[in-house]
Amino acid sequence: MNFYAIKAIYRFELARFFRTLFQSIASPVISTSLYFIVFGSAIGSRMEQIDGVTYGAFIVPGLIMLSVLTESISNASFGIYMPKYSGTIYEILSAPISALEIVIGFVGAAATKSVILGAIILATARAFVDYNIAHPLWMLAFLILTSVTFSLFGFIIGLWADGFEKLQVVPLMIMTPLTFLGGSFYSINMLPPFWQKLSLFNPVVYLISGFRWSFYAVSDVSVGASLGMTMAFLLICLAIVWWIFKTGYRVKV
């Protein structure tokens, strides 16, 4: 294992992250804070509790997941797309570094950025609502696992995209609607039976439900199902990345 190469990629990507703090940190934190103000304070104060949790506190895990999913995909896709765009990816591919080490460097950096962002939003939420974390270790585990999984997904998008507009297609047209419909602002148990069953086909439901369970010990689906769906998506992403580097699809062109 070439740890020097992994460290070089990892540090380079983190350095880019800290050079663009307003875009990487301030912008999503401000946007999420507005959600807390509007939904948590203004609307939440007029709503009943959900599963014994005040509405403002109930949406905290969903809003963190909304930001983490979006930023994981964005950071990882942009991180690998820029070397493709500038042509420096050929220097990486010709260096004595394996595909696994490339993935660890880029995906590890993107996941680290997302975990940092999630922690900042979690701390910021305290200024707007009161919440408790029933299972802090599980909360951290779900946060890291989700960040790694969707950073891998973003890495795939970055390899697939052949233009800047394609980098935004999946996050904006697919992931954002799925996140909003995945129980970020409500429990799927509040829906009519038909829509409850339909929501179970949305993979984001399992991510948010498992993450919310780590806070309040309540969930829309079982924790085992949440963990299993996340692991399954992680393995699918790993298989796709392996196939891309094996075939050279959109890489060795």
Read off the pLDDT of residues 161-203 as tens digits, 9 standing for 90 and up. 887 777 888 777 888 888 888 888 888 888 888 988 988 899 8
Cα angle, residue 234 at apex, residues 251 and 175 outer, rounded to 5°: 80
Which residues have a Cβ under 8 Å from the Cβ of 25 and sit 6 or more positions away? 116, 117, 120
* Phi, psi (degrees; rounded to nearest 5) at 222: -65, 150
Three-state DSSP at 251 gives coil
Q: Which of 222, 180, 215 is nearest to 50 (CA)?
A: 215
- What is the C-alpha separation between 166 and 69, in angstroms, rounded? 17
Share of the chain above pLDDT 90, in %: 34
- What is the C-alpha separation between 161 and 77, in angstroms, rounded? 9
Q: Mean pLDDT of all residues in the chain? A: 86
- What is the C-alpha separation between 56 and 42, in angstroms, rounded? 9
Cα angle, residue 37 at apex, residues 33 and 42 outer, rounded to 5°: 165
Q: Is the pLDDT of residue 235 over 90?
A: yes
Which residues have a Cβ under 8 Å from the Cβ of 39 and sit 6 or more positions away? 55, 56, 59, 185
Q: Which of 160, 147, 149 is nearest to 119 (CA)?
A: 147
pTM of the model: 0.89
Q: What is the pLDDT of residues 31-78, one digit of tens each?
A: 888 887 777 666 666 777 788 888 888 989 998 998 899 889 988 998
Q: Is the pLDDT of residue 96 over 60?
A: yes
Q: Which of 172, 196, 215, 195 is nearest to 69 (CA)?
A: 172
- Residue 105 in tokens: 């460097």
Radius of gyration from C-alpha coordinates of the chain: 19
Q: Is the pLDDT of residue 204 over 80?
A: yes
Q: Count other Cβ atoms within 10 Å, centred on residue 201.
A: 7
- Residue 171 in tokens: 């996050």
Share of the chain above pLDDT 70, in %: 97
